Structure 1
Amino acid sequence: MPDGTTGAMRDNSLGRFLRDRRTRLDPSALGIATGARRRTLGLRREEVAQRACISVTWYTLLEQGRGGPPSAEVLGRVAGALALDEAEREHLFLIGLGRPPEVRYRPSGGITPRLQAVLDAFPRSPALIRTACWDVIGWNRATSLILTDFAILPPEERNVLRRLFLQPALQALQQDWDALARFLVGAFRADIVRAGAEAAASGLVEELCRKSALFAVLWQDRTVLAKGEGTKRLRHPAIGEVAMDYCSFAVEGRPDLSMLVYNPATAEDVVRIDRLLAGASGPG
C-alpha cells in the first residue's frame, strides 16, 4: 500500500548533494569563526542558510527532500553559498529542477590551447570558435585561407555580423545574400537569448541598425532561427564558387561559445579547396 512518500523524498539526491558539498567546505576559508569545540564537518545548515539569505527552516527542508521543488533563484543562492563551480552548479539545477541553470554570459578573450588543437585537427575544413555575440575568437589555417584571415584583423573587426553587413565587397562573395542575411539575423537573435547575452549584444545591435538599413529591417522583424547545420555557398576570389556543408557545436561548459566546422560539399569542392591549400603552402 502506498505510504504517501514521494519519489523525491525517497531518493533525495538533491539533499545528499547539498550535504556532501556543505561538509566539504572550510569555514575559516569563508571567514566563519570556529571554536575549539566545533564538531560539525564543513558548514552548519544555519551557516549555509545565512550565506544564501534564506531561512534555516527552508534550507533544512531542501536537505530533507521536503517542501516541494525550490525556485531557480533559491538554487542560485544556495550554489553561491556553497561556492559551487560551474559543473557543480549545473548538476545542482539538474537534480533540483530537472533542467540546467540559465546561462550566465561572460565575455571571452580567447580559447584554450586544447581547443585550438581541436580546430587545427581539421586541415581541409575551416573551423572556428565564436561567442554568442558572434565575435570570432579562434580559427584554423583553413579558415584563414578560405573564409577570412582573422589574424590580420584587430579584435573589434572579427565580428561576423559587422563584417558581412557593413562590407558590400564581402556581401558580393555570398550567394543569395538576401536569404543569408535573414538567416544570420534570426540565428543571432536566438544565440544571444540562449546565452543570456542580450545586454552584452545591445551595443552591436544598435551599431548595425544605425549603419545597415537591411539589418535594421531584419532585426525589427524579430525572426528567430536555430539551424545547427546547412550549406554555405561562397564565390571565392581564387578558386571560384565553392560549397561547404557546416555543422555547429556547443563548447562543453561554455554554452555561450559555439564551434563551426565547414566541410567541402562535393568531390569537386574538395579538389578546389585542396588546390588552394597546396598553393598557399608554397614549394616543397
Structure 2
Amino acid sequence: MRRRTPGLRREEVAQLAGVGITWYTWLEQGRPINVSSQVLDAVARTLFLDAAERDHLYRLARIPQPPVAGDPPAEIPGDLDTVLTALDPLPAMLVDARTDVLRWNRAYAALHPALVSAPVGERNTLWQLFAAPDAQHHIVNRDERAPEAVAGFRYRYSQNVGDPRWQDFVTRLRTASPLFSLLWARHDVAPPRLCDKRYDIPGIGEVSLRATGMELADHPGVRLVVHTPTDRRSRENIDHLLRRATHL
C-alpha cells in the first residue's frame, strides 16, 4: 500500500490514526492482522484515501467483503451477440474481470485482428498491450495507457486474491513483459474508468477512440466495452478500416 501523504513518516501516520507502529507497518506490508473497520476508517482518513484505495486497504487487512462474482458463464446468451452486432461500426467487445475478451463485433475484429485470432490464453487486452509485438496492436499512446491499465487490473485482482488463475496470469505476464513487472511492483490501484486509445493503422491512418465499459447486471463479471471515435477523422478511418476488412 502506498501512502498518499509521502511527507508523513510511518510513526506519524500511526499516531494520527491511533494505532501502533508495528501494527501499521504490518498493514502496509499486507501481513495478516486483526483489525476493526473503525480502525481502518481512521487510517483511510489520515491518508486521504479515495474510494479505490480505501477498498484496497480493506482487502489488505482481510476484512470480509461482499461476495465477489465468479468467472462469467461459459455460454454467452445470443442476445448479447445481437447487441454487439447492432453496435457496428463502433468497435465493441465483451470482456471479463481478467480482461479476457469473450466476444466481439466486426469493427472490433477489424481493429484488433491479432487479438481475436490469438490463442485463448493470450486473447486478453492486458496481454496484448504488454506482451504482443507493437506491430500487432498499433497503439501509439501505450506509455500513457500502461500505468492506468495496470492500476485498474490490480483493483480487480484485489477482489480475487488467492485465486490461482489470477496468480498464474500475473506470473505469466510478469515473465513476458518487463514493463508490466515494473508497473505491477509499484502497487498502484485505481477503479476502471473512461480511457482514450490512439492508434496508427498502416494504410488507414490515425484513429482515436474512447473506451466506455458497462457492467452487465445479468451476467456478473462481464463488461460490455464500446469504443467511440473522438473526432470526425477517426470515424472516417474506422469506416475505411471496415471496408478494407470486407474485401480481404
TM-score by length of 2: 0.67
Does the 8 Å contact 2:154/2:189 carry over to 1? Answer: yes
Tell me what 2:208 maps to.
243
Amino acid at match of 1:182: P
Tell me what 1:31 maps to.
none
SS at match of 2:139: coil
Cα shift at 1:149: 5.2
**Alignment CA distance shift 1:197-1:124 (3 Å):** farther
1:165 pairs, out of 130, 153, 173, with 130
Cα shift at 1:121: 0.8
Tell me what 2:228 maps to.
263
Please say if 1:213 is aligned against 2:182.
no
Give, in whole Å, the separation in 1 of the partners of 2:177 and 2:118.
Answer: 21
Amino acid at match of 1:269: S
Give, in whole Å, the separation in 1 of the partners of 2:85 and 2:77.
Answer: 13
Stretches of structure 2 lacking an aligned partner (at least 5 in a row): 1-64
Tell me what 1:122 maps to.
87
Q: How does 1:66-81 map to 2 (within 5 A)?
A: none
Q: How many residues align?
A: 183
* 1:92-133 per-position Cα deviation (integer Å, ceiling 9, x unaligned): xxxxxxxx9422322543421111111111111110011111
Tell me what 1:204 maps to.
169
Amino acid at match of 1:248: G
SS at match of 2:93: strand
Give, in whole Å, the separation in 2 of the partners of 1:171 and 1:223.
Answer: 27
Does the 8 Å contact 1:119/1:128 carry over to 2? Answer: yes
Q: How does 1:42-57 map to 2 (within 5 A)?
A: none
Stretches of structure 1 lacking an aligned partner (at least 5 in a row): 1-99
Between 1 and 2, higher relative CO (CA 8 Å, sep ≥ 6) is seen in 2
SS at match of 1:254: coil
Does the 8 Å contact 2:199/2:206 carry over to 1? Answer: yes
User: After TM superposition, which residue ranges in structure 1, 4 or more long, deviate above 4 angstroms?
Assistant: none
Give, in whole Å, the separation in 2 of the partners of 1:259 and 1:252.
Answer: 11
Amino acid at match of 1:117: T
Tell me what 1:180 maps to.
145
SS at match of 2:95: strand
Cα shift at 1:172: 7.2
**Alignment CA distance shift 1:256-1:172 (3 Å):** closer
Mark the structure with the bigger radius of gyration.
Answer: 1
Cα shift at 1:168: 3.0
RMSD: 2.3
Amino acid at match of 1:180: R
Please say if 1:144 is aligned against 2:125.
no
Give, in whole Å, the separation in 2 of the partners of 1:193 and 1:267.
Answer: 39
**Alignment CA distance shift 1:110-1:137 (3 Å):** farther
* 1:188-233 per-position Cα deviation (integer Å, ceiling 9, x unaligned): 1112334x36513110001111221111111111111224212111
TM-score by length of 1: 0.59
SS at match of 1:243: strand
Does the 8 Å contact 2:211/2:227 carry over to 1? Answer: yes
* 1:119-150 per-position Cα deviation (integer Å, ceiling 9, x unaligned): 11111111001111111011000001012355
Cα shift at 1:185: 0.6
**Alignment CA distance shift 1:173-1:179 (3 Å):** same
**How many percent identity over aligned positions?**
30
Q: How does 1:75-90 map to 2 (within 5 A)?
A: none
Does the 8 Å contact 2:72/2:222 carry over to 1? Answer: no
Give, in whole Å, the separation in 2 of the partners of 1:168 and 1:258.
Answer: 26
Cα shift at 1:175: 1.9
Does the 8 Å contact 1:249/1:259 carry over to 2? Answer: yes
